[in-house]
Amino acid sequence: MASKDKKSDVDIHHEELVSGLLNQMKIIFESSEQPLYLYLDDNHWTCNKRFSDLLGYKSPEELVSQKLPLLEALVSEKSQDSLVTAYGNAMEKMVGSTIEVTWKKKNGQTVDTNVILVPVAYDGHLFALHFLSVLA
């Protein structure tokens, strides 16, 4: 394996963190009626089936495995600043917020949502947990 393809210790640790927190929150991810995702950084996040379905992907694994930069690939340009600001407030001030976000679907269409974003701590690391409600 070429060195550029080898995962760093940090990548491995972050994957373990996402997996560990997902395991702790499994009942919420499987049972919530809302699309939701858990975000550590652009390369380390996961979602439930409702989120992947909302964006037109077959499964959470299909969506996450593409290693898409979440912000640029999945969030419309008009919503990026508000999502970044809400994320920053969650990570720096430990506050939750509700914002409107327009998502880009796999087929190129968009979907408007309200997003509840809250900070979550796990094993000394901060994550952002996002619950979505589709706007009519």
pLDDT digits (tens, 9 = 90+) for 65-97: 887 788 989 999 999 999 999 999 999 999 999
pLDDT beneath 50: ranges in the chain: 1-3
Question: How many domains does the chain contain in total?
Answer: 1
**Residue 64's domain is classified under what CATH number?**
3.30.450.20
The structure's pTM equals 0.89
Residue-number span of the structural domain to which 107 is assigned: 3-134
CB 70 within 8 A of CB 45: yes
Instruction: Convert 30-58 to b/e letters by CB count within 10 Å (16 or more is b).
Output: eeeebbbbbbbeeebbbbbbbbbebbbbe
